[in-house]
Structure 1
C-alpha cells in the first residue's frame, strides 16, 4: 500500500512539474529546439514561421551522379517547397505532446540537449518528373565509336568506349529522399551500360586506309585543269563515319568544295544547244555539247576512292554533266531543210541609220524557233542604246523628222515582216508606219518603237524556223529557213480616201527676212488594203486582208522672220529619215 502511495505521489509531482514548465514556456518553443541546425528555441509562436524561413533550401543545388557523369539542379526545380506553417507547428509540439512522459522528457532535455525538428517539405510531382527526365538525358552517355582525328597530315586514334543510359524513374526515385531531407550529399543514380558497336580492330582497319590516303598527293584533272591535293590538304577534309558498326573514311563535301577553290569555276562549262547554220546555201545542224559542273559530293567520294585505292593516285575529275536544252536529235526533228522565204530592202549608203539597220540584223541573225514559239524584235533586242552598238538615226516625232538613237531599225522591221509574210508565218503583233515611205512595200510594212510598238512573228508551221540575216552597204536581207508548208501570194487594192498634204510654216532665224525654203516635202495620205493569200497542200485557201491608213505627211516651209523678232532654231530635218514612230502611236 505504501508503494502505491509513493507512485501516486511521484506521478502527481511529475504532472505538477510538467504543468509548471508548460505554463512557464507557454507561447514559445522550448529551449534547444532546432530545425535543420537553425536554433529556434524560445522563439514566440507568432514569429516562428518567419524564423523557420531561414531553413528554406529552395536555392540550394543538388548534385546528381551517374557513373562518371555529374549534373546539378536547384531544389526548387525538382518540386521542393518548404511548408513553413507545418514546420512551425512541429517545432511548437516539442514538449506539448499528448503523451505526458514524452512531453516531460522534452522539457527536461531542453535544459541541456538539442531538440531536433525535421522541416516539413512538399514535393511537386509534375516538377519532379520533368526534372528527372532532363537529368536522365544529361547524365546518359552515348557509347564512343572508334574514330580518327586528322591534324596537318597526322592521324590520332580514338578508341571505342562504352556508354550508359539513365532512366528518368531511377532519377526521380533517388531525388525524392534528398528533396524531402531524408538524405544528404550527392545523389547517385544507377545506370545501364551500353557497349560500342565498334572494336579496336575496326579502328585498325580505318587507320590503315587513312595511312594510304595520306601517303602521297592526289591529282584530278578535267578539261585541261589540274587539281593537285596534298596529304595535308586531304587531311583537312577527311573524317571517319560509323554506320551499323562499320567505320569508313569519308570527305566532307562542303570542305572539299572550299578546298577546290578556283577549280570549281575553271572546270565549269555551260552546255551548248544544237542549232542550225546556213553553210554554202544549205542549212546544216551544229551538234549540241554537254556541259560540266563541279559536284562537291562526287569529288569528295572520288578523292577518298583514289587516295585509298591500290592503283594510280590520279584520275579524271567526276562531276555533274549538264545537258543542253536542245539536243542534236531534237533539232534534227525540226526538219529545217530549205529556204522558205527571203526579203531584201535597200538604203542609201553612208547614212548613220545604216549602222542601226546592220546592228539589229546582227542581233537577230541565227534565231531558232520551234513550232509554236514566237520572236518579238523589241523583246529580243531590247532598248536600242549606244552601248549595244546603235547610233543616232532618222525618226518621226509629231509628224516631223528628227534624229534619235536607233533610228532606222524600222527598215529592218519591214524587211523582217515581209520575209515572215511570204513564208506564211503568223504575224500576231505589228503596226505600219503612220506615213508612207516609197522605199517600203505599200500596205506591207511595219515599224517598231521600244517598248510599246512591237513586231512579233510566230512559227505556226509544223516545222522549225531559222531566221538568218545579211547586209551590205546598200541593202539588208532577212531569210526564213524551214520546210515549205504553204504557198503565199499578195494582192494589193487601190489607194482610196486620198488626203492632200497639209502645209506647216515655221520661222527660221538663219534665213533672211522674207526668204523661205522647203524643209520637208509633203505627201498625201491614203488608205489601202493588202491581202495575203495562203494556199495549203490540202487545197484550203485562206485570205488575210490588212487595211492600212497612212496619214498625210505635212509639207514644212521655213521663212525668214522680220527683223527684231525672237525665234528659236528649228529642228533639223532628214529627208532619208522616218523609221521610228516617236510620240503617240498612230
Structure 2
C-alpha cells in the first residue's frame, strides 16, 4: 500500500514540474530583456536589452518629441517647443513600464508564441515650467468682462455695449497639453471659461435713449453764493459719461477737468482766487512776481455734485469751494531757469474787426502763463469755451466748409502765432491742425486752427526749464514770445506747393451766407531744422494739405 502511495505522489510531482519548468526556463532566459512583441508608439523594442531599447526609442521618437505644439485658444494660435512647456520624453520610464510584468505568464507566452503589446510613451513634466507658460498664455487671452458705458459725440449719446469676459481653463489646458504631447496631435484646442458682465445691453440702450439725452438737453447752472455760471450743454457732454454701478444699473459720472477753465473767474471773486507766480520783463530781464494762496473750485467735489444732480434730474448745482494752492509757487518760479527770450512770432490782421476783440481777449488770458518742465500746454484747457460773459464776441470762423459767425471766431490767429513760437522755440508739437483752407496772412504749412472742445492746440515743454508765455498786441498785430533757457537755433525750410487744386465758383442765398473769396488748394512740406553751435542735430517734417476754398457769392 505504501509503495502504491509513493508512485502516485511521484506522478503528481512530475505533472506539476512540467509547466513550472516550461515557465521558469524561458523566464530565466529572457530576464533583463524587453518582452517580445512590445511596441511604443509604433517603435518595436521587443526582445532588446534595456540599453538597446532606450537607444532605439530615442532614435525613433526624438524628432516627434521635439516637435512644437500649436496651442489654439480664443482665436489665437501659439507654437511652443515642448521644452518651453516643461515636457520631455522619458525613455527610462518608458522602458521600465515595458519591463513591468515582463515575467508574467502572458508576457512569457507572447515571447514564446507571438503577439503584441502597445505602450504609450512616458512623459516627464516640469510642473512649474508648464504652469508658468500657461500663465503667460492666459495673460494674453484672459479679459475681464466689459461693462456697458455711454459717452457723447457732440450731444449725441454713443453706446458701448457690455461684453462677457473670458479666462483660460488652466487646469484643463495642462491636461490637454500633456495628452497631446507625443500623440500625433499637431495642435491643441484649449478651452476658456466665460464670465458675464453685471449689466445688460438692454439697460445701456434704455439709459442712452432716456436719461443720457435728458442730461445734456439744457445747460446746468452752477451757484456759489450770489455768483452764478452756466455750464453749457457742450461742456456737460465733454465731461459726462454713464457707467455701470456693478449692480446692473447705469449712473452718470462727470469729470470737470475739461470745463474748469474760466469757471473760477465767474464763480470766485478776483481777490479771493489763488495767483500763480509769474514774471515781468524789466530792462529785458525776467523778474519773478510772487504767488498767492486763495480759494478755488474743488474739482473732485464738483464732479460728485454734478453727477448726483444729473442722476436726480436737477439742473442746478451748488459749487464746492476750497482753499487752493497756486499752480506755480514763488520758490518754484525762481528755479525754473527762465532767463532769456528763446522765440517770438508776430502775425498781422486788419484793424478793428470783431475777430480782433477775440484775439486780444485770448491774449490777455494766456499772457504771463508759466509752463513747467514736462508739462503739456492745452489752449482749450487754459482758456476754456469762448463765451460772451468773458468778453468774447461773434466773428466769422470756418465750419462745415463755410464761414459762419460764432462767439470766439478769429482766435485761430492766436493759435497760429503761438504755434510758430513753439516751432522756433524748439518745443514738442503735440496736437495742431491746419485750417481747411489756406489763409494768406499765415505762413503756409506753419499754422493752426482751434475750436472748442476740438480741435485743440497742444504743445509740450520738453526742456528742463520753465517757459514763460508773453502775449502782446496792437490794433493790427498779435505777438507771442517764449522766455526760458535757449537750447536750439531753429531754421525753417519749405517745399514748393504741389497737388494744386483749382477754385470752384458757387452761389448761395440766405441771411447767414458769408461770401468767400476763393483760394487754390495745395499740399506743402515744411521742415523744422534743429541746430546747436551751427551744426544740424535733427530735422522734423510737417506735411499740410489744404482744400480749395470756393469762390462763394451770396445773393
- TM bin, normalised by shorter chain, reads 0.3 to 0.5
When normalised by structure 1's length, the TM-score is 0.41
Normalising by structure 2, report the TM-score. 0.43
Larger Rg: 1
